[in-house]
């Protein structure tokens, strides 16, 4: 009986905490969105990548792409930088998101690809370096509220003047959505090896903490802007 009571108590506490955090994230996201409308337009927004799963975009990827397209269509962002290499699946994440964004009406000449990043901290750092190379000044990153909160800490750590525009889910939910077909073969990488085979758990964990960043990326012409 005591075990049941303790379990119920833990579930109750977890539920209340989750609701509290969700409310906090939603409030912060809306607040940042209101701020962004005043600061707009941003030269570019950075969108961290998500793996393509079994030839389909996940709900997470769908949310990020739709929100980025919404920010572009509302005039809040003039360009979109999709970021992400082929990490867990043999499809370049940035390219997959570009293919979906094109189907949603975003002009290809306003989309840029950053294809070096394998971790979210690298999405942030490499995309900012790419934006500098492209001559963009006013930059923001958009993702789900939790990831945005985590990456804000790294933007501060690396002294990157990047604003954050986390997804406002009530607005996102109001946007009509489709699941367009794309030719994912355009994002396919031959002789692909997953990061889980190339790197140990601890190496990957270090990457999530920004320990694997190559700080010279995009310092010269060795890294393409992928246009």
Of 120, 113, 70, 71, the C-alpha closest to 92 is 113
Query: What CATH architecture does domain 25-208 belong to?
Result: 3-Layer(aba) Sandwich (3.40)
Contact predicate 149/25, CB 8 Å: yes
Contact predicate 140/165, CB 8 Å: yes
Q: What is the pLDDT of residue 54?
A: 85
Q: What is the pLDDT of residue 192?
A: 94
Burial-class residue 117 by CB neighbours within 10 Å (0-12, 13-18, 19+). buried
Q: What is the pLDDT of residue 39?
A: 81
- The pTM assigned to this predicted structure is 0.87
What 3-state DSSP class applies to 58?
coil
Average pLDDT across each block of 10 residues of the chain; the chain has 227 residues. List them in order.
43 35 68 83 96 91 96 96 96 97 96 97 97 95 92 94 94 94 95 94 92 89 55
| Gap between the Cα atoms of 10 and 19, Å rounded | 14
| Gap between the Cα atoms of 98 and 80, Å rounded | 9
| Gap between the Cα atoms of 69 and 139, Å rounded | 16
């Amino acid at each position: 009986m005591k075990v049941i009571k303790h379990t119920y108590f833990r579930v109750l506490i977890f539920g209340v905490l989750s609701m509290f955090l969700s409310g906090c994230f939603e409030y912060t996201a809306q607040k940042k969105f209101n701020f962004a409308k005043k600061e707009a337009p941003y030269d570019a927004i950075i969108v961290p990548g998500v793996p393509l799963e079994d030839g389909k975009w996940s709900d997470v990827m769908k949310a990020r792409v739709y929100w980025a397209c919404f920010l572009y269509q509302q005039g809040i962002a003039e360009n979109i930088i999709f970021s992400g290499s082929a990490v867990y699946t043999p499809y370049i994440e940035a390219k997959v998101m570009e293919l979906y964004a094109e189907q949603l009406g975003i002009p290809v000449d306003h989309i840029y690809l950053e294809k070096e990043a394998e971790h979210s901290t690298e999405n942030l750092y490499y995309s900012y370096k790419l934006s500098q190379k492209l001559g963009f000044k006013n930059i923001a990153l958009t993702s789900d509220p939790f990831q945005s909160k985590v990456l804000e800490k790294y933007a501060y750590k690396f002294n990157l003047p990047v604003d954050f525009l986390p997804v406002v889910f009530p607005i996102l939910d109001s946007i009509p959505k489709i699941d367009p077909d794309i030719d994912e073969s355009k994002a396919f990488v031959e002789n692909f090896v997953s990061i889980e085979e190339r790197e140990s758990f601890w190496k990957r964990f270090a990457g999530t903490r920004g320990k694997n960043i190559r700080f010279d990326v995009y310092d010269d012409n060795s890294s393409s802007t992928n246009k």
